[in-house]
Amino acid sequence: MKTKILKILKILKGTPEYVSGQELCTHLGVSRTAVWKVIRQLQEEGYEIEAKRNRGYRLRECGDVYTGAEIECLLNTRQAGRNLVFLEQVDSTNNEAKRQAEQGAPDGTLVVALEQSGGKGRRGRSWVSERGAGVWMSLMIRPDILPECASMLTLVAAMAVEAGIRQAAGIEGRIKWPNDVVLDGKKVCGILTEMSTEMESIHYVVVGIGINVGAREFPEEIRDVATSLRLYTGKDVRRAVLAAAVTDAWEIYYEKFLKTMDLSLLAEEYNRNLVNIGREVRVMAPEGAYSGISHGINDRGELLVETEGKIKNVISGEVSVRGIYGYV
């Protein structure tokens, strides 16, 4: 059924006029009854499909239809997202992507959910992920890289999100090293990368992405530090278009990363979009906090911070930026 839905949807999207039932039957090699069942299912999922006797079917301009079939229709990838798992509800898309990986799912599997009951942020924090409010998705990959290189994939994902938002919403976000995308200093996206390893090999990596899209308000405790595309633009952004755009961009940036196993082909673009660059930052390091001026990232994705005339390479730890997330 999934294949039939996707084929009919692609035909209707690619044809502005009516498509006869017989033509759809011929394309799919099925009966008119089977075609009608698919049309009915698409209508139930929110597609406005006109049906006229002796003329056939026509897809009207659709709104924010958010289904696996819609995302697949919009993808321009060779591998990323081609095995797509779309769920009504899940504990977290990262958890489901890991379950899929353990069951043998292929490289590039994309898990998308309408709602997460236990969305996860970094350092065990929760991530608000209500139905209809955003894009909650996780990519599962099986890269042939060393485990110590996996942290750079978070930066690759941040670039993909920024590019996807630019494509789908027509606005430019900025990246806060290493894993946030911000709009006017407020967080619109968080990224959580997890992996399964054994000695010097990686079984799989899961890159979780949560983008606030349609939320009109946030809980009081995060209202001053979080935003959504709806709040920022005043317009609705189609989630399927955004999810596909992010996945498309991910594949482009990820392939560049794999060529060199580092960020040497991406660092220049990353730094152009880095909100930290040239600004004072506060590094919350295990050995103690210190302040300095950010000079962007190097080819390993480390943040270069100048303090007391010396450059420190920041590998991990919280980094605060003046004017962002309440740090003044």
Decide which of 39, 59, 79 is a domain's last residue: 59
Whether 328 maps to a domain, the answer reads: no
Structurally, the chain folds into a number of domains equal to 3
218 lies in which domain range?
68-272
Arithmetic mean of pLDDT, 88-98: 94
Q: Tell me: do 76 and 54 sit in the same domain.
A: no
The pLDDT confidence band at residue 328, using thresholds 50, 70 and 90, is very low
303: domain CATH number is 2.30.30.100
Look at residue 60 and tell me whether its pLDDT is greater than 90: no
Q: Tell me: do 268 and 287 sit in the same domain.
A: no
Q: Tell me: do 259 and 286 sit in the same domain.
A: no
36: domain CATH number is 1.10.10.10
Q: Tell me: do 267 and 121 sit in the same domain.
A: yes
The pLDDT confidence band at residue 311, using thresholds 50, 70 and 90, is very high
Q: Tell me: do 174 and 112 sit in the same domain.
A: yes
Arithmetic mean of pLDDT, 89-103: 96
Q: Tell me: do 89 and 228 sit in the same domain.
A: yes
Whether 327 maps to a domain, the answer reads: no
Decide which of 255, 272, 289 is a domain's last residue: 272
Q: Tell me: do 90 and 177 sit in the same domain.
A: yes
Arithmetic mean of pLDDT, 204-224: 91
Give tens-digit pLDDT for 224-261: 889 999 999 999 999 999 999 999 999 999 999 999 99
Whether 34 maps to a domain, the answer reads: yes
Cross-strand pairs, 175: 181, 274
Phi, psi of 298 (to 5 degrees): -100, -170
Q: Tell me: do 165 and 184 sit in the same domain.
A: yes
72: domain CATH number is 3.30.930.10
Neighbours of 252 (CB within 10 A): 15
The terminus-to-terminus CA distance of the chain in angstroms comes to 55
Whether 115 maps to a domain, the answer reads: yes
Give tens-digit pLDDT for 268-305: 999 999 998 999 999 988 888 899 999 999 999 999 99
Q: Tell me: do 8 and 129 sit in the same domain.
A: no
Decide which of 13, 31, 59 is a domain's last residue: 59
Q: Tell me: do 37 and 172 sit in the same domain.
A: no
Arithmetic mean of pLDDT, 177-183: 92
Q: Tell me: do 141 and 41 sit in the same domain.
A: no
Q: Tell me: do 111 and 211 sit in the same domain.
A: yes
Is the pTM here over 0.75, yes or no?
yes
**What pLDDT shows up at residue 127?**
56
290 CB burial (10 A radius; 0-12, 13-18, 19+): middle
Whether 254 maps to a domain, the answer reads: yes
Whether 107 maps to a domain, the answer reads: yes
Whether 154 maps to a domain, the answer reads: yes
Please tell me the distance from the alpha carbon of residue 260 to that of residue 120, in angstroms, as a whole number: 30
